[in-house]
Structure 1
Amino acid sequence: MKILVTGGLGFIGSHTVVELQNKGYQVVIIDNLSNASLDVLEGVFAITGRVPIFEKLDLKDKSAVQAFFKVHQDIQGIIHFAANKAVGESVVNPLMYYENNINTLVYVLQELTKLKVSNFIFSSSCTVYGQADIMPIAETAPIKPAESPYGNTKQIGEEIIQDTCNINAKLNSIALRYFNPIGAHESAKIGELPIGVPQNLIPYITQTAIGLRDQLSVFGNDYPTIDGTCVRDYIHVVDVAKAHVVALQRLLDHKNQTNFEVFNLGTGTGSTVLEVIKAFEKVSNTKLNYKIVDRRPGDVVSAFADTSKANLELGWKAEHTLEQAMLSSWKWQKVLK
């Protein structure tokens, strides 16, 4: 069974490709390599013993997308990761985010709805909730105005999918709203591989610890939290990847209750930035050089998941601890050097 994974050489995408191949799916990857490396294919092969089909393609090129789907009309499902994903960067460069995250989704959906089988898993985000009033955040929480252009693209993306599902009964879709994926595969063959300066906390921590960065900046310590730093729900990327496979199988088995469903992916536990730093220092036996700086635009105070819906309906639950995730990130960083 052929499954397309867009952005499949990225952080979450590559781990999902591994889990798909472990379950016997034939995987086709599309990636423009803007924030990924071809070396990831070697890592996937080293873990699974199989090389996925790969096409370098920019999904912003509508004609190229159309040509791809003419060749691959036997695709049974799509997992759509391809998107820019940094909150801070989106605040600085919103138009890049709107062009890349929205246009590409539309082009993929236009072609998917022409196929005989239309199963679609959307890489969404807890940012769709904005600053939620109640913790933990359930799927029924109000969708508030986004705190960043990135978050807004995820809100708009879900709306586009919902609208398309409303007029196309054969399109079955699940939006997975994940919180903060971290960690690396236990083999240390694949992991988070940011190009340039990391936009996310964990690779910045590991790069600072290994000496690639002089100092880690902690954005604000005056938030109304236990230690003044932001709270997030950090979930191991392998747990996230496995959830995508479970969600896809739900659609393939026609077990979805409606043709557009949403599920939170998280651990259900919130951790502050300083708690994450302490967890890293513990597992790595390394003292981290960090400093407190001003707050960063676009950051919400707190966000952690109510995962009961995914636990009950998908039969999925996060299995890894924060310390396990931090240790796997550190092992991966030491491989990269």
Structure 2
Amino acid sequence: MKILVTGGAGYIGSHTCVELLNAGHEIVVVDNLSNSSPESLRWVRKLTGKDFEFYQIDLLNRQDLEIVFKQNNIEAVIHFAGLKSVGESVRLPLQYYHNNITGTLILCELMQKYAVQRIVFSSSATVYGMSEQVPINENSPLGATNAYGRTKLMIEEIMRDLYVSDPTWSIALLRYFNPIGAHGSGRLGESPNGTPNNLMPFITQVAIGRLKELKIHGNDYPTLDGTGVRDYIHVVDLALGHVKALEKIMASTGVEAYNLGTGQGYSVLEMVSTFERITGQQIPYTIADRRPGDIGICFSDPNKAERELGWIAQRGIDEMCLDSWRWQSHNPNGFQKEEEEITV
């Protein structure tokens, strides 16, 4: 019996593959490599000493995806695959709705056809939208503010309707806060295409010299230093949360949402100063205007995951910064070849 991991070559997916293999699971990986590299899967094999099947397939290709189900005895699915840039989703909403929702529908239809009724879905804290109350728990109001977040929210609703139609399904909806960090080996980490959208890879690329300076959007929020506060979680802790969620869905039926975060918020300037202290690298920055849709403070209440999954984040902000820098310093160009420099 095998676990199908869609999007398994990506940042969170590859780290989860490591933890699944370390926990003794067999996996099958599907990824179209549109925003990831086969190099990550090579390192998954090296770090675990275990092999697995990989299919370079787009979830929109039903015929190719069905081959995976025909050739493998799939027991459960962990579903990461999808487009994930908030800014890009605002520019290309139809592409995001088609890719993320249609791909999930095709996946679920094939799961139904082959009697695979257990899935862990990679959702996001973006489903909470402009929530002004913190900490945010799973009962907080939902209301995404961009196309990316709405695809996550819509897929959550699809999963709930699927369970209502057939209560033998078992579904975990994992709402991530802000994943950062890298595998402790320094060989597996976040390798975004082009200029990063997220804070930590932007910081590390400034530190390594690929980018000139960090641009901080807004310093007039109602926070200690005026910059936005977020809940950052180490990617290895996040990956272990998927292993715990898998154990949960294998042992029960139902559909439940879980926040995966630390329950503690850090401002952008706190992240910069911590990174500088831990690594000895200086991070020049400038202050820019707020981005539309950004809120001042956002952090999780992760107690439900601790209570029902037996999961709690173990790694602190110092370790997140150190592991991020170890990965970037070992891989100055990420998973790209040396000649593929980023130009900005």
TM-score (norm 2): 0.94
- Is 1:90 the counterpart of 2:89 in the alignment? yes
Instruction: Supply the RMSD in Å over aligned alpha carbons.
Output: 1.2
Contact between 2:12 and 2:239, CA under 8 Å: does it hold in 1? Answer: yes
TM-score (norm 1): 0.96
CA-CA distance at 1:299 after TM superposition: 2.2
Per the alignment, residue 107 of structure 1 pairs with: 106
CA-CA distance at 1:297 after TM superposition: 2.6
Letter in 2 for 1:47: L
Give me the whole-angstrom Cα distance separating, in 2, the residues matched to 1:66 and 1:39.
Answer: 25
Give me the whole-angstrom Cα distance separating, in 2, the residues matched to 1:97 and 1:30.
Answer: 19
CA-CA distance at 1:80 after TM superposition: 0.2
Aligned pairs, how many? Answer: 332
Per the alignment, residue 9 of structure 2 pairs with: 9
Per the alignment, residue 175 of structure 1 pairs with: 173
Q: Which runs of 4+ in 1 moved over 4 A?
A: none
Per the alignment, residue 201 of structure 1 pairs with: 199
For residues 57-86 of structure 1, the C-alpha deviation after alignment (integer angstroms, 9 at most, x for no partner) is 0112233223332333x1000000001112
Deviates more, 1:20-29 or 1:297-306: 297-306
Give me the whole-angstrom Cα distance separating, in 1, the residues matched to 2:60 and 2:290.
Answer: 33
Name which of 299, 304, 307 aligns with 2:299.
Answer: 304
Per the alignment, residue 32 of structure 1 pairs with: 32
Aligned pairs for 1:13-162 (under 5 A) are: 13-72=13-72, 74-144=73-143, 146-162=144-160
Q: Unaligned stretches of 5+ in structure 2? A: 333-344
Give me the whole-angstrom Cα distance separating, in 2, the residues matched to 1:319 and 1:274.
Answer: 23
Letter in 1 for 2:63: S
Deviates more, 1:124-133 or 1:6-15: 124-133
Give me the whole-angstrom Cα distance separating, in 1, the residues matched to 2:132 and 2:195.
Answer: 33
Contact between 1:131 and 1:303, CA under 8 Å: does it hold in 2? Answer: no
Per the alignment, residue 289 of structure 2 pairs with: 294
Q: Unaligned stretches of 5+ in structure 1? A: none
Give me the whole-angstrom Cα distance separating, in 2, the residues matched to 1:294 and 1:89.
Answer: 19
SS in 1 for 2:29: strand
Contact between 1:147 and 1:299, CA under 8 Å: does it hold in 2? Answer: no
Give me the whole-angstrom Cα distance separating, in 1, the residues matched to 2:114 and 2:291.
Answer: 43
Give me the whole-angstrom Cα distance separating, in 2, the residues matched to 1:208 and 1:137.
Answer: 31
For residues 117-161 of structure 1, the C-alpha deviation after alignment (integer angstroms, 9 at most, x for no partner) is 3110000011111121321001011113x1211111111110111
SS in 1 for 2:186: coil
Give me the whole-angstrom Cα distance separating, in 2, the residues matched to 1:150 and 1:106.
Answer: 16
Name which of 154, 163, 180 aligns with 1:165.
Answer: 163
- Is 1:335 the counterpart of 2:330 in the alignment? yes
